[in-house]
Amino acid sequence: MSEKNQILTDRQLLDMFYYMLLARRSDERMWLLNRSGKIPFVVSCQGQEAMQVASSFALAKGVDYTAPYYRDVGVVLTMGMTVKELFLQAFAKAEDPNSGGRQMPGHFGHRKLNMLSGSSPVTTQVPHAVGMALALKMKQQPAVSFVTLGEGSSNQGDFHEGLNFASVHDLPVIVMVENNQYAISCGIEQQVNCAKISDRALGYGIHGETVDGNDPVAVYTAVKAARERALNGEGPSLIEAVGYRLTPHSSDDNDLTYRTKEEVNAAKEKDGLIIFRQQLKKQGILTDELESGYESKIKALIDEATTYADEAPYADEQTLFDGVYHQ
């Protein structure tokens, strides 16, 4: 973020910071709940909050459609999912608006928020998002489809098929690769042989660019421009946001079998949340008092959501086949 940001207002910057902090604290609580045996599984967003929140700020809530991937706590919260709803899906309870407790945690989907339901096989969300973009174009609806994935998923066939179809038909879709350097245990150098994931855009004849995923203003600027191009009929964009996964792949992973603690600690010094906080304070936008207020508000929301979701009922066994067979 530059010394004198002209792209976003101080209020927007503070709101971005709030949602980044909300995502981080929610994620931290879910890890505690997992380790205490309360919830079964966590796929963390830590280290990717800046790119998730900033990209969502560049979209139009209630207008655009999203197909988030399993780490996108920052995306779903920014696009309107409540903390209570987030924790209901983590506890797999009946009130969970994502799937009624049927999906694994992190498999987001919210009809009221124009959020497509995700599946466990990685990258399947890309052709889904492209299909939504096709529908938007056919209906001449002034909106875009936004989909995220990890850099490892860019090696799947669904990625190629989705981008190729979107390119051929000039569809209003934004594909953002959240490059966190690891596909489970495989580092980026074991996954691809090109300098940047965004280089692949050239083969599809579409716009491609790589941005610093730890810089929310850079991410916002790139996604905002991609949305404008899409609405102007200029087709899809491939944006690579480069960051780092600060936690193990999931709550079932031991990341120290394939990377060192020193490497992780070095990455933490570039943590987008920490850097953004420092920049906002340096510019006099964020004060200690404001930050303390955010922390208190967030803790109260998470405490309430945790208690509510923990005590909420599971789905009744009589609903086992709901959504499977036509009623």
Kindly give, in sequence order, each residue whose CB lies less than 8 Å from that of residue 238, ignoring residues fewer than 6 positions away. 163, 175, 177, 197, 198, 200, 201, 204, 206, 207, 208, 209
What is the reported pLDDT for 323?
81
For 249-297, write each residue's pLDDT tens digit.
999 999 999 999 999 999 999 999 999 999 999 999 999 999 999 999 9
What is the reported pLDDT for 250?
96
- Burial (0-12, 13-18, 19+ Cβ within 10 Å), 250: middle
Tokens 């803790």 — which residue?
Answer: 299
Asked whether residue 321 is assigned to any structural domain, the reply reads: no
For 46-104, write each residue's pLDDT tens digit.
999 999 999 999 999 999 999 999 999 999 999 999 999 999 999 999 999 999 999 99
Q: Choosing from 258, 259, 277, 308, which is the catalytic residue?
A: 258
Question: Are the C-beta atoms of residues 149 and 175 closer than 8 Å to each other?
Answer: yes
Element (H or E) spanning 188, and its range?
none
What is the reported pLDDT for 32?
98
Number of domains comprising the chain: 1
Kindly give, in sequence order, each residue whose CB lies less than 8 Å from that of residue 262, ignoring residues fewer than 6 positions away. none
Q: Choosing from 29, 110, 229, 245, which is the catalytic residue?
A: 245
Asked whether residue 324 is assigned to any structural domain, the reply reads: no
Beta bridge partners of 178: 150, 241
Tokens 């280290």 — which residue?
Answer: 47
Active site residue 182: no
User: Can you give the residue range of the structural domain that contains 207?
Assistant: 4-310
For 5-35, write each residue's pLDDT tens digit.
568 999 999 999 999 999 999 999 999 999 9
Asked whether residue 325 is assigned to any structural domain, the reply reads: no
Q: Report the CATH number at residue 257.
A: 3.40.50.970
Active site residue 169: no
Asked whether residue 315 is assigned to any structural domain, the reply reads: no
Asked whether residue 288 is assigned to any structural domain, the reply reads: yes
Active site residue 249: yes
Kindly give, in sequence order, each residue whose CB lies less than 8 Å from that of residue 131, ignoring residues fewer than 6 positions away. none
What is the reported pLDDT for 5?
55
